[in-house]
């Protein structure tokens, strides 16, 4: 019968790991939101050539006004509705002139910030559920004694 009993993790360990995960999602949400805002505030429009399409991710190459060639991915969640462009197609993009290879969005895509909202939602859900689950774990451990 001892094999049927489950061993519960220590509550401080559970709470600590949960806190790390929540903080990780919150930082990711803030980073995505900040990148979206940077494109909105100081983004530069350009035309990019599609050099590779891999599992829905679009790799593009474009030239900055100072003549540098930049090659990067179009941001996750920044793809327009419809069929993905083919290699060799030209698409309108907006990029951050401070770091052209870091953040690029397809201008045809709607400005919906869904990735930032999704990450923030997961962080908020974790911020509520981790303490509740920790309290439930502490109570269950006390009852098991």
Domains in the chain: boundaries:
42-109, 110-140
Give the side-chain half-sphere CA count within 13 A for 134. Answer: 15
Does the 42-109 domain belong in CATH 2.40.50? yes
Grouped pLDDT means (10 residues each) for the chain, 145 residues: 64 91 96 88 92 86 91 78 86 90 84 85 95 90 78
- Please name which of 43, 11, 45 lies closest in space to residue 142, comparing C-alpha atoms: 11
pLDDT at site 5: 62
pTM: 0.73
């Amino acid at each position: 019968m001892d094999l049927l009993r489950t061993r519960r993790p220590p509550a401080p360990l559970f709470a600590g790991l949960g806190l790390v995960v929540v903080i990780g999602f919150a930082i990711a949400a803030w980073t995505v939101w900040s990148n979206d805002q940077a494109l909105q505030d100081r983004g530069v429009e350009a035309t990019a050539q599609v050099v590779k399409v891999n599992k829905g991710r679009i790799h593009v190459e474009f030239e900055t006004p100072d003549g540098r060639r930049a090659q990067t991915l179009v941001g996750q969640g920044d793809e327009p509705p419809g069929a993905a462009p083919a290699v060799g197609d030209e698409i309108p993009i907006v990029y951050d002139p401070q770091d052209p290879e870091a953040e690029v969005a397809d201008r045809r895509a709607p400005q919906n910030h869904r990735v930032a909202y999704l990450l923030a939602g997961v962080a908020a859900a974790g911020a509520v559920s981790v303490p509740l689950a920790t309290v439930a774990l502490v109570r269950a451990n006390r009852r098991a004694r």
